[in-house]
Amino acid sequence: MKQRVWLLLVLMLWASLGLAQRFRSLDQIQADGTIVIGTEGAFPPFNFFDEGNLVGFDIEIGQALAERLGVKYEWKAQAFDTLLIALNQGRFDFVIASHTITPERAQAVDFTKPYYCTGNLIVALPGGPRTPEELKGKVVGVQVGTTYFEYAQTIEGIKEIKTYQTNPDALQDLLNQRIDAWITDQFTALEAMKQRDVELQLSDLLVREEIGIAVAKGNETLLAALNNALDEILADGTYAAISEKWFGQDIRCK
């Protein structure tokens, strides 16, 4: 009995120190038969809900990768700025939500090689700001927890940076003229014009971004398998078809 109590205490200490492995290895996932994938679900056309179903480029890439690993998939959607923390707590096996690979994030999680490359830009109503200099004295909206927020903070003279829980929330405030500009991804800006049927002014691309899939820090077996699976779908036409469907072009990094 006493021994058991000791064992329990040691285990609790181990877990509380974060030393316990909080991720499932490739073997464990394959033995279970289902991989759990995390995303946001509010970043069209990459990951969003359409009539209650998760759809988009990220979703189809995630599913294609799961198929290559020979497992079924289960999606969990939650706020963008909580995804990487939840990943390290073991809530998902991997996260695909258009995360830019940054040195800060790469300290917390491990990223695959980039699955696409893109750029951010300034979106405004016609006649609004179209360069970082023109953002002086302006109110700029960005999604919380994104590289757009980080980038906005480096621009001098912005009057106010407003953060939004989701990217479409920022778009809405731009359309309502509560902000002067919105910093976002180029493809999300094009999608916004299409979906909302509005004319928006898009600046030149400002920062190039390499986008990766995240696994829990140290999950080497899953990381290697995802990188292999990504190579396969890039080579066999699966990736090209998905990209063509959503963007009319191939957005892999060149």
- Interacting residues toward ligand ARG by CB under 6 A: 40, 43, 47, 80, 97-100, 143, 146-147, 167, 209, 211
The residue (of 99 and 138) whose beta carbon lies closer to ligand ARG is 99
The residue (of 43 and 246) whose beta carbon lies closer to ligand ARG is 43
The residue (of 41 and 128) whose beta carbon lies closer to ligand ARG is 41
Q: Taking the complex as a whole, how short is the minimal distance between the CB of residue 135 and ligand ARG, in angstroms?
A: 18
Q: Taking the complex as a whole, how short is the minimal distance between the CB of residue 253 and ligand ARG, in angstroms?
A: 14
Q: Taking the complex as a whole, how short is the minimal distance between the CB of residue 225 and ligand ARG, in angstroms?
A: 23
Residue 236 main-chain phi, psi, to 5 deg: -100, 10
> What DSSP line would sit under 141-170, residue for residue?
EEETTSHHHHHHHHSTTBSEEEEESSHHHH
The residue (of 109 and 135) whose beta carbon lies closer to ligand ARG is 109
The residue (of 84 and 226) whose beta carbon lies closer to ligand ARG is 84
Q: Taking the complex as a whole, how short is the minimal distance between the CB of residue 76 and ligand ARG, in angstroms?
A: 13
Question: How is residue 135 annotated by DSSP?
Answer: G
Query: Which residues fall within 8 angstroms of residue 35, CB to CB, at 6 or more apart?
Result: 29, 66, 69, 71, 72, 73, 74, 93, 94
Q: How far is CA 128 from CA 63, 101, 199, in A?
A: 39, 30, 12
Nearest to 220 by CA among 115, 112, 116, 86: 112
The residue (of 26 and 40) whose beta carbon lies closer to ligand ARG is 40
**Largest distance between two CA atoms of the chain:** 76
The residue (of 24 and 99) whose beta carbon lies closer to ligand ARG is 99
User: How far is it, in rounded angstroms, from Cα 62 to Cα 38?
Assistant: 10
In our burial notation (b when 16+ CB lie closer than 10 A, e otherwise), range 7-29 reads eeeeeeeeeeeeeeebbbebeeb
HEC readout, 57-122: HHHHHHHHHHHHCCCEEEEEECCHHHHHHHHHCCCCCEEEEEEECCHHHHHHEEECCCCEEEEEEE
User: How far is it, in rounded angstroms, from Cα 252 to Cα 98?
Assistant: 13
Q: Taking the complex as a whole, how short is the minimal distance between the CB of residue 243 and ligand ARG, in angstroms?
A: 17
Q: Taking the complex as a whole, how short is the minimal distance between the CB of residue 229 and ligand ARG, in angstroms?
A: 21
Q: Taking the complex as a whole, how short is the minimal distance between the CB of residue 242 and ligand ARG, in angstroms?
A: 17
